[in-house]
Amino acid sequence: MTMVVVFGGAGFLGRRLVHRLTTERLTVRVAARHPEPARIELRSTGFDWVTIVPADVRDQASVVAAIAGADAVVNTVSAFFTAKRDFRNWHTADESDWAYGVRY
């Protein structure tokens, strides 16, 4: 079965993507910086069978662990600004930031 990892899967866009992927009978792993609120959010929409793992897109080791064994990875993380990055920088990070750990 196909495994898709969704970063930000409990957010506005991510929840909709997770729902779509699961209706297509894909296995979904949601990578969330705050797993417990993500579990609550996804349970309230009926996604009890989606796996949720802790991961922070700014932490390489947690990203590598989250995408291990995945067939596809989708980033739906969104932030208008953070202490270190503004909206544009956050959403246009170098692709190499995501390339580590991806199997070809």
Question: pTM of this prediction?
Answer: 0.78
Is domain 3-99 classified as CATH 3.40.50.720? yes
Select from 95, 12, 97, 96 the least CA-distant residue to 56.
97
Question: CB of 51 within 8 A of CB of 32?
Answer: no
Query: CA 26, CA 54: separation in Å to the nearest integer?
Result: 20
Residues 1-22 have pLDDT tens digits of 899 999 999 988 999 999 999 9
pLDDT score of 104: 42
Please state the domain extents for the chain. 3-99
Q: Average pLDDT for residues 69-81, to the nearest whole number?
A: 83
